[in-house]
Chains A and B, each alone.
Chain A
């Protein structure tokens, strides 16, 4: 039902523009399924596509619609520091891609997994992304939001899931075991040398 509501909003937006091709926002990874560890943030990037020749789309926010008893969702798109992501006709590009970057707070957002969340917990929900639609390029110096705003706030929803796990044994070995192995090898060599 939620998705239907959003689809209606989207349809309204593009009806105004007589546009055939809808806006699409794809999470990165596209499956929306990511793997996180207790006490760590994990998040999503995105690819925004707006094939319309007549209007421009600006991403404005996101939210995680699901249980947050295992952690907290942090929206990157609504931050004051968020870049102005615009997809549309030239001089803009119809496709904008942003990888998830927890250091620069770039991407859709992050899920901070609680340190006490048990491994093998699956946290499922929907990520709802907000965007605005304009009849004029927001980067145009003559842009006038009073007349160019077609849809102030539309949304697209997509499923997402975080699987909480511990590092793979092989990774553990590389992180912990290998240095120990090297240390032991060095000591063995040291003993041989005595």
Chain B
């Protein structure tokens, strides 16, 4: 059994509304089995609407399933027909969407008994999203019906036989080809002439084309929907005369059609050097006919000889969330809701589990932006956003809307700006565009959205009027902000909070933000809140910045709502637009992740002090497998969120929820010894780590003695090196020492001192080892 929905737990089990049907709810008024079912009313038209559930990640492309359920009309409804349908997003469908009826199109249903609907269904190999819904066929007025006992069983797996997760290892030390074969006539030779490790490798000569080289069958070893790490070492052959570009590719054949896909991109191979080609996580997204899947090594061009060695294909088990760690939103229940930015991939499967465990508010990353909901004038598409809003309602999550007007014109179709000029005629056009867009969007979502980022990123401190001079401004001047806010106030339900949302409000934009807010307030333009984006870096801004910003706004605009709206912390410094920890198969060093964890600790310690002034804190994402920073400012590996790419808690999470679990927590200092003569007394300071994880980059920043008793004297302190004195990475329960030589000449035996030794570890774990009443 793949899935079962019996509703016996009293919930809707993730089912939402499709096409205007009422939000389904759990009912005990009728049941096919047990005592519960799901009750829904169709839209006013009666047909093509009902309860729905996402099957993304539940059904596998290429596999066949039996999908059945039972329907009964509520008492008094006239008999009609019903079926199960799957709304399939698929580029092979006309318009990108197909509606697949499952089983009979019209199954007679009535209020007198339960009728089974459904049948068998084979999943398209090119689908990108699946939404199952039950609908009535025939009625022209609203009707109510129960749904129960929905069961999905797999009839047959995707073509190719059972999945084999054992992986492939080929080091050629046995003298054989280890399953590798020639693609197009090249010669493969197991050779002892060269090797990356061991004594042997596989030499490829006589290549007929750039795509010719060694290939290995990955039939059943690489399975559609699974993830793999892949690594191979490549060296150009002895006959090669110049550097070359090599990559690893995948060939699959499905239903007679062969396709080719890059797995590890073009990699420069210099002469005479073994180079690793690897990818830590490859999503296998292709079905294939039995025996028709091959990984192969090819060049970008030319036919130079090359060798391969130490090939490794490793299956990566699908992630499971940790259920035994504290919920983030529950940890902060006395402070503020904690939200996350989401997209369509987050509302089903394991991501949805992680999301609902740790967050009680969400915002759509892209699906409510102008270009998403109204790509062409007057044509609105709310499908993706509706699914996310429905998910939020089903799971009792707050939903904030982002965004209605983006000052710089990002993700906004060009028609919105008219002809781009500030002619009176075009001003009228753009004004109408803004008003109509906002009217339609906020009306569509109504009170399902509690707050809107009405104007996004309007502040520019480099401009005399503090406003970004983007395409809306160029047409309408600052009045575009007024128009947007006034339209939002006019059309959004009463109580909807209207926000100005921007970045760097904790630093160089704060004074301009105040100026703009005061101007809006003076002119009685409606607004209710300020969103501080907080896309942060490992070195900027300081947590004190956001505390100051929120306090400043709270003092100047009492009662104004404030939220952190887009929080993440890049592992790169703010000025670093070139580094990539993920280069050459690398990852972010644990020392950096520890540093990030301690920075999150400082940040949330500050946010806790804003209790009563801060209405919500929203992360821009929640796990590192899906972050916008992987492609901004360049394509690179970034890990800015509380959970890692495998959806497991990082130091960042612990810094937010429980700092006592951070690496290096419990680091403590003692004076291990005092020895030597009065004029060269040696005090050895010992740092001892706790039992959580390594205390990275531990440093002593200074050493001072303040005399508290005895005749005045001046000890002269000589540190073992210039400050900071580096103690390095201290392992769990390990220690590191630093000896300071102190000349106490002139100090009496009874002289006493207060000692102060400030230190830091992982940059943001800081403290002072202070002792009083120290004799020399």
Contacts and interface: CB of A to CB of B under 8 A. Distances in A.
A60 B335 contact: no
B649 interface: no
A37 interface: no
Most central of A60, A75, A77 by chain B CB within 10 Å: A60
Contact of A60 (B681, B688, B774): B774
B772 A77 contact: yes
Interface residues of A, number: 44
Contact of A75 (B605, B610, B666, B770): B770
B660 A146 contact: no
Interface stretch (B16-24, B351-359, B747-755): B747-755
Given A2-B666, A69-B605, A69-B608, A149 B660 contact: no
Given A2-B666, A128-B668, A69 B691 contact: no
Interface stretch (A23-31, A78-86, A169-177, A178-186): A78-86
A144 B749 contact: yes
B770 A78 contact: yes
B404 to A, nearest CB: 32
B671 A69 contact: no
A115 B611 CA distance: 9
Interface stretch (B153-161, B268-276, B585-593, B672-680): B672-680
Contacts of A1: 690-691, 733
Contacts of B285: none
Contact of A67 (B611, B659, B708, B771): B659
Contacts of B709: 84
A112 interface: no
A152 interface: yes
A63 interface: yes
A80 B708 contact: yes
B673 A80 contact: no
Interface in B701-754: 706, 708-709, 733, 749-750, 752, 754
A188 to B, nearest CB: 38
Contacts of B775: 132, 138, 143, 145, 149
Interface in B653-685: 658-660, 666, 668, 670-674, 677-678, 681, 683
A9 B776 contact: no
A66 interface: yes
A132 B776 CA distance: 12
A134 B416 CA distance: 81
A58 interface: yes
Contact of A116 (B611, B683, B706, B774): B611
B5 interface: no
Contact of B772 (A60, A128, A138): A60
Of the four ranges (under 10, 10 to 19, 20 to 34, 35 or more), the interface on chain B belongs to: 35 or more
A67 B608 CA distance: 13
A61 B776 contact: no
Nearest to A154: B670
A3 to B, nearest CB: 11
Interface string A24-68: 000000000000000000000000000000000011110101111
Contacts of A155: 668, 670
A63 B666 CA distance: 11
Contact of B773 (A75, A84, A121, A154): A84
Contact of A69 (B601, B610, B678, B733): B601
Contacts of B772: 60-61, 77-80, 82
B334 interface: yes
A141 B770 CA distance: 26
B159 to A, nearest CB: 54
20 contacts: A5-B733, A65-B668, A68-B605, A68-B659, A69-B605, A78-B754, A79-B772, A84-B752, A116-B608, A116-B610, A117-B608, A118-B334, A132-B775, A138-B750, A141-B750, A145-B775, A146-B678, A146-B776, A149-B674, A155-B668
Interface of A: 1-2, 5, 9, 58-61, 63, 65-70, 75, 77-82, 84, 114-118, 121, 125, 128, 130, 132, 138, 141, 143-146, 149, 152-155
Interface of B: 334-335, 601, 604-605, 608-612, 658-660, 666, 668, 670-674, 677-678, 681, 683, 688, 690-691, 706, 708-709, 733, 749-750, 752, 754-755, 767, 770-776
Given A69-B605, A78-B770, 10 more contacts: A68-B659, A78-B754, A80-B772, A82-B754, A114-B609, A117-B608, A118-B611, A143-B750, A146-B677, A149-B674
